[in-house]
Amino acid sequence: MLSFLISSNMNLKPKFWNSDKIVSISAILISLTTMAIYLYQTHLMKKQQNAAVMPYIRVMYSFDHDRFEVLVLNEGLGPAFIDEVNTYYMGKKYEHQDLPDFFQNEYTKIDSTLSLNYSNISEDMLFTAGKTLWVVSTKNSEEKAQKLYDLFLNNKIEMEITFSSIYGEKWKVRGVSKRPEKISD
């Protein structure tokens, strides 16, 4: 009888799923899940940090019967670093010229009667959050205001601004009341 017990015990194979393996595999799965959660939380924190300092530059205009103004606003939460400013007139690009430079250098060749008040927005400029800059304006002249209004209303003239956040994300806005478009990295 003893030989029978010994021989039957020798034929038994050890079980694959014993308690040690179950505990080990469970620990590995818990560790992998924890790592995935940490990676996702890090991704969310990075998105939140970027959104907390995101600039949002817009070009707007204001028109009244004797007054016309072009404004650049940073409606975002963070500062904008101005990388490049261009002006388009009748589809032609005038590189590295904001509206005041364009009106002083180029448009006076077309129409020398248009005198304007202006403030430049230049490359390498820091444009803080909540800032508004009156780029071009004319007051107390219905003729000048109407002339500028016609230029902007028909998209004959557009300003393009390329800007970046403190994290280096880049955007471009072109035209009046347009939304900035993110430039791929």
Classify strands 170-174 and 157-164 as parallel, antiparallel or unpaired: antiparallel
What CATH number is associated with residue 130? 2.60.40
Write out pLDDT tens, residues 131-173: 999 998 888 888 888 888 888 888 789 999 999 999 889 999 9
**3-state percent breakdown (helix, strand, coil) of the chain, nearest 5:** 35, 30, 35
pTM confidence score: 0.75
For residues 124, 138, 61 and 50, what is the CA-based torsion angle, rounded to 10 degrees?
20
Provide the number of structural domains found in the chain. Answer: 2
**Domain extent for 37:** 18-52
Does residue 40 form part of some domain?
yes
Write out pLDDT tens, residues 6-48: 555 555 666 778 888 889 999 999 999 999 999 999 999 888 8
Q: What are the angstrom distances between the C-alpha of 55 and each of 12, 73, 127?
A: 71, 10, 9
Q: What are the angstrom distances between the C-alpha of 70 and each of 56, 164, 183?
A: 17, 21, 24
- Contact indicator for 97, 160 with CB cutoff of 8 Å: no
Does residue 8 form part of some domain?
no
Query: Same domain, yes or no, for 46 and 126?
Result: no
